[in-house]
Chains A and B, each alone.
Chain A
């Protein structure tokens, strides 16, 4: 079946690292994604990882993929107030992308 699970809320102090976790169920996923949604806007692709990779780094973002456990994480280093948003984990299966419910990241001063 197709299901993507992630926790709904995360609070982090400004300057600390944020780690958002996600699990998925379909082992035939080709790509896994992290999308960011700011208030009142649509989703924007933040980063992605191909299913045969286990890590991808892009400036402050690190994506880790454990294919055996079907676990994906997004680490944001040096979290800033501009990182406050909802983060969606998603997996691609054929023509469709299946989204998780989103994790709302709240930044504490």
Chain B
């Protein structure tokens, strides 16, 4: 079990470039999430997907789009990157057998937009 995997680990973009962050989980979880983490701001939810085929906006969705490609994969796209999107991005999943619905996190993608 790899858990939650994210690619790439690091990325540098120029303003206006686009890119897609990939996330996959092998735990058969229904729910998947994208967060960004900024110093002093904690984790902020960008988008989430409660089940395959559904996506919903979180706290900070502007400038991002998501695709729940199948049950395993949930990608985050930046169409036109801006310096304000410099951050560490975490993907997470939940929905296993535990009653307390723990979220499992990937290792993060460190994105810098110049």
Q: Known: A42-B90, A96-B58. Is A88-B103 also a contact (CB below 8 A)?
A: no
Count of B residues near A, CB < 8 Å? 23
On chain B, the residues within 8 Å of A98 by CB distance are: 45
CB distance from A10 to the nearest CB of B (A): 15
Whether B42 contacts A88 by the Cβ 8 Å rule is yes
Which listed residue (B42, B48, B101, B108) contacts A99, Cβ 8 A? B42
Among B35, B41, B43, B107: residue with most chain A CB under 10 A:
B43
Q: Tell me, in angstroms, the Cα distance from A31 to B35 when the chains sit together.
A: 20
Whether B102 contacts A45 by the Cβ 8 Å rule is yes
A43 on the B face (CB < 8 A): yes
On chain A, the residues within 8 Å of B92 by CB distance are: 42-43
Q: How would residues 70 to 114 of chain B score, 1 for a CB under 8 Å from any chain A CB and 0 otherwise?
A: 000000000000000000001010100000111101111000000
On chain A, the residues within 8 Å of B41 by CB distance are: 101
Whether A45 contacts B103 by the Cβ 8 Å rule is yes
Q: Known: A96-B45, A100-B42, A101-B41. Is A42-B107 also a contact (CB below 8 A)?
A: yes
**With contacts defined as CB atoms under 8 Å apart, how many contacts are there between chain A and chain B in the complex?**
48
Which listed residue (B4, B50, B100) contacts A95, Cβ 8 A? B50
Whether A42 contacts B48 by the Cβ 8 Å rule is no
Q: How would residues 6 to 39 of chain A score, 1 for a CB under 8 Å from any chain B CB and 0 otherwise?
A: 0010000000000000000000000101000000
Q: Known: A31-B100, A31-B101, A96-B45. Is A42-B106 also a contact (CB below 8 A)?
A: yes
Q: Which of A19-68 contact B (CB under 8 A)?
A: 31, 33, 40-45, 48, 50
Whether B48 contacts A96 by the Cβ 8 Å rule is yes
Q: Tell me, in angstroms, the Cα distance from A100 to B100 when the chains sit together.
A: 18
Q: Which residues of B contact A (CB under 8 A)?
A: 4, 31, 33, 35, 40-43, 45, 48, 50, 58, 90, 92, 94, 100-103, 105-108
Q: Which residues of A contact B (CB under 8 A)?
A: 8, 31, 33, 40-45, 48, 50, 88, 92, 95-102
Question: Please, could you name 25 A-B residue pairs with CB atoms under 8 Å apart, sorted by A?
Answer: A8-B40, A31-B100, A33-B100, A33-B102, A40-B108, A42-B105, A42-B106, A42-B107, A43-B43, A43-B90, A45-B103, A48-B102, A92-B101, A95-B31, A95-B50, A96-B45, A97-B33, A97-B94, A97-B103, A98-B45, A99-B35, A99-B43, A100-B42, A102-B42, A102-B43
